[in-house]
Structure 1
Amino acid sequence: MHTELIKLGKRWLGWLILGASLGLATAGVLLVAILSRRMQESFGGFPSGLVAGPELVAQSFGSMFMLVLGAVPVGSEYGYDTWKNLVARHASRVRLLAAKWLTLLGVLLLGVIVVSLWSQGVALVLGSMLDLPAGEQPALSQILLRLGVLAWFLAVLASVGFLCATLTRSSVGGITIGFVWLSLDGLLTMVERVPMAVKRWLLTPAQASLNAAIAGQPAALPLWNSLLVLLLYLLVPLIIALLVFRERDLT
């Protein structure tokens, strides 16, 4: 994992995604602050600012960012034809690929924490500069749960990109197939004729139901159903990728 962390740190893509996420979070929080001032509404405060930026990023380009982040570490090894050398130096293919996946999740979690803290700082500064009241704040535990669900959702997207890149042996193929899958998931969620028996196993309704449950609102799916769906979408892509990679001919 240490080697994979160094490789990720040297790639410009990860830093570009982090920088873009911080920029989007800043722009989004600034826009909300301006609108709140015009409408004379409360804004920012602690701890609501912690989740404002990450949610704005996730609702804009976050999904694509995660597909790219998941696909490139695997697909680039095929592009540079380095898998043969890497496999020769490791006793287990499964451990090698699993290390990439675990490193990816660790970097993703760290990125969410950085964007969250940055978002809170920007919200507090703007609230003070524009003299906006913070208003009533939700409990810190509720905010942390929302952040946890958001990080879990983003990890699922990265895991799907990871699998698709493994199957196609290409970063571009992994990103493209992942984007098509995510689009179909959202489309099926919105179509009323799709039966609930199908929707209950889609990613989008599961995330929405978890957020509703955290906020104390009625949820479309039971809690166990939402948790199971997110767990399956996180782990099944990894398991399939490991099985495929273990038997693949890299010569």
Structure 2
Amino acid sequence: MTDVMASARAELLRLRKWPAFWIVLGTWILLNLTFAYLFNYLAYTTGSATRMSNGLPRELLMQQMMPAAVPEVFTQGMAMFGGALMLVLGALAVGSGYGWGSWKTALTQGPSRVHVIGAVVLSLVLTVVALVLVAFVVDTGVAAFIAGTQGQSLALPTAGRMLLGIGSGTAILGMWTLAGALIGAVARGPAPAVGLGLVWVLVVENLLRGVAAIFAPIRAITDHLPGTAAGSLAGSLRTVGGPATPGVLDILSRGESLIALTAYAILFATGTVWLIRRRDMV
């Protein structure tokens, strides 16, 4: 455990010194604020229901921008766009070690391979938890500012609702991050891993679900894909009607979604550790 923690601290230091790390995280925070609050606020203040706000009436727009709605709102973009960015982060974190040759050094001169790659997985999980907490705090601050300027209620969500939102966000982004790590290990490089991951998240799963709508036999598979589980968990938090955010679904129940996401996260983490441990670095 001492070796794992020491390696995790070293990996976190590497990530903190890496510009791409902050670019990916900063991009997600910016997109989250833009789509969850900026577009809705502009639609509300101008009195126009546009595609930016999914055509919601003004009263529902204001409801979504209140502090009490943060657990629902900040998870809506995680299923697809947030997940895609975190998949990129996981793929870069693992795949770059092959391109730079740093895996050879770390795995031949440091602790055992299990300790080293286990530390990488742990550092990515800690990064996801920190990102979700930061996003929740930032969204709550922005929502409170909007509520204050518009003379609305500053009431926060209940403690249970907060924990549900934070836990759901961690499960969604954590699963996608570990998926990216596995793809980075399989592809042995960041570029192909990023490309393959984005194609899967943004294209393949959506196409498969479209085929399942007209060919029922494959629905049992498409209903339990990673993106379906992530989208269903985000969808289970919705309380406001109207068109859903892209990637947000209602196929699985909350419990089924959590089970599926946990199983995928364990599978991806175990696969990454096993693959790097067993494979030649050359």
TM-score clears 0.5: yes
Does the 8 A contact of 2:87 with 2:177 survive in 1?
A: yes
CA RMSD of superposed structures (Å):
2.8
1:141–1:224 Cα change, 3 Å: closer
Q: Larger deviation: 187-196 or 153-162?
A: 187-196
- Candidates 16, 20, 27, aligned match of 1:13: 20
**Which secondary structure does the structure 2 equivalent of 1:221 belong to?**
coil
Q: Larger deviation: 216-225 or 116-125?
A: 216-225
Does the 8 A contact of 1:18 with 1:111 survive in 2?
A: yes
**Count of equivalent residues:** 249
1:97 aligns with 2:117: yes
- Candidates 197, 209, 219, aligned match of 2:220: 197
1:1-251 correspondence runs (5 A): 1-28=8-35, 29-37=37-45, 38=47, 39-41=57-59, 42-43=62-63, 44-49=65-70, 51-56=72-77, 58=78, 61-129=81-149, 131=150, 133-134=152-153, 139-182=158-201, 183-191=203-211, 192=213, 193-195=215-217, 196-214=219-237, 220-222=251-253, 224-251=255-282
Normalised TM-score (structure 2): 0.77
Does the 8 A contact of 1:4 with 1:103 survive in 2?
A: yes
Between the aligned partners of 1:169 and 1:207, the Cα distance in structure 2 is 26
Which residue type is aligned with residue 52 of structure 1? V
Identity of aligned residues (%): 26
Between the aligned partners of 2:143 and 2:24, the Cα distance in structure 1 is 21
**Which secondary structure does the structure 1 equivalent of 2:281 belong to?**
coil
Q: Larger deviation: 211-220 or 143-152?
A: 211-220
Between the aligned partners of 2:115 and 2:281, the Cα distance in structure 1 is 16
| CA shift digits 1:176-211 (9 cap, x unpaired) | 222232232232223302433223321233234434
Deviation at 1:122, TM superposition (A): 1.2
Does the 8 A contact of 1:74 with 1:165 survive in 2?
A: yes
Does the 8 A contact of 2:232 with 2:250 survive in 1?
A: yes
Structure 2: state its 5+ residue gaps. Answer: 1-7, 48-56, 242-248
1:138–1:110 Cα change, 3 Å: closer
